[in-house]
């Protein structure tokens, strides 16, 4: 009888210990999930803050209307010749940018705009000393937008060494400067949806 009581007591003790361990594991998992969400929220806020600052510092920059750029066939083109009377979306990237970031931006743009009407208003300004590498990228991604070789732009955003985009109106004034983050694709989606609704509909 005594042995049975001891066994029951041990089983109860083991059961209590297992319950406490399970409860602690559940609490740890909940805490870890909350911590991960907090880190994710902090990162999202950081990306939004950075883009807000970028917009404040880079919006209303004015490009030189007499500037001469080149197409992929090395033909000289005046910057004022390629713009339409409606604002154009400029996608700016360079050979020195993170390749994944460039692809991310180009793929986002290609998914949103797929109309011949809009394709003339979406311009790619690339800084590529190696023209062949740019042609390979354009062919691989099957890019239909006009691509121009542009060394530098008078926009402070040029210094960050990440691809970015902006709207350019007929007066050569920039607006809605945006640097997408490949780790926060929903922000890029929202940006392009807003641009599409405002300028392309």
Q: Look at 4-13, 67-76, 158-167 and tell me which has the smallest mean pLDDT.
A: 4-13
> Do 69 and 116 fall within a single domain?
yes
Predicted confidence (pLDDT) at residue 34 exceeds the cutoff of 60: no
Q: Which of 86-90, 108-112, 114-118, 147-151 has the lowest mean pLDDT?
A: 114-118
User: Which of 37-46, 52-61, 88-97, 135-144 has the weakest average pLDDT?
Assistant: 37-46
Q: pLDDT band for position 77 (50/70/90)?
A: very high
Among 36-45, 69-78, 87-96, the minimum mean pLDDT is found in 36-45
**50 — pLDDT class (breaks 50, 70, 90):** confident
The reply to whether 43 and 76 lie within a common domain is no
Confidence of residue 1 (pLDDT cuts 50, 70, 90): low
Same domain, yes or no: 97 and 16: no
* CATH code of the domain in which 121 resides: 3.40.30.10
**99, 168: one domain:** yes
Range of the domain at 169: 61-199
Same-domain pairing of 6 and 44: yes
Total tally of structural domains belonging to the chain? 2
H, E, C per residue of the chain: CHHHHHHHHHHHHHHHHHHHHHHHHHHHHHHHHHHHHHHHHHHHHHHHHHHHHHHHHHCCCECCCCCEEEECCCCEEEHHHHCCCCCEEEEEEECCCCHHHHHHHHHHHHHHCCCHHHHCCEEEEEECCCHHHHHHHHHHCCCCCCEEECCCCCCHHHHHCCCEEEEECCCCEEEEEECCCCCCHHHHHHHHHHHHHHHCC
In this prediction the pTM is 0.77
Whether the pLDDT of residue 56 is over 80: the answer is no
Residue 187 has a pLDDT of: 92
- Average of pLDDT values for 115-133? 85
Q: What is the pLDDT of residues 125-156, one digit of tens each?
A: 999 999 999 999 999 999 989 999 998 898 98
| Whether residue 126 sits in one domain with residue 34 | no
């Amino acid at each position: 009888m005594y042995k049975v009581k001891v066994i029951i007591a041990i089983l109860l003790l083991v059961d209590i210990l297992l319950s406490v361990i399970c409860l602690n594991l559940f609490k740890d998992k909940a805490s870890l999930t909350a911590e991960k969400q907090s880190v994710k929220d902090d990162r999202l806020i950081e990306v939004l803050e950075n883009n807000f600052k970028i917009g404040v510092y880079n919006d209303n920059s004015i490009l030189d209307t007499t500037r001469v750029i080149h197409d992929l066939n090395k033909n000289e083109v005046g910057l004022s010749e390629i713009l339409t009377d409606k604002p154009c979306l400029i996608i700016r990237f360079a050979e020195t940018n993170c390749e994944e970031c460039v692809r991310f931006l180009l793929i986002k743009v290609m998914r949103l705009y797929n109309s011949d009407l809009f394709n003339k208003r979406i311009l790619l300004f690339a800084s590529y000393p190696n023209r062949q590498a740019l042609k390979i990228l354009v062919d691989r991604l099957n890019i239909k937008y006009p691509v121009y070789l542009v060394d530098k732009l008078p926009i402070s955003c040029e210094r960050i060494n990440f691809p970015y985009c902006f709207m350019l109106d007929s007066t050569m004034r920039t607006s809605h400067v945006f640097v997408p983050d490949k780790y926060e694709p929903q922000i890029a989606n929202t940006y392009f949806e807003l641009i599409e609704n405002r300028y392309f509909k």
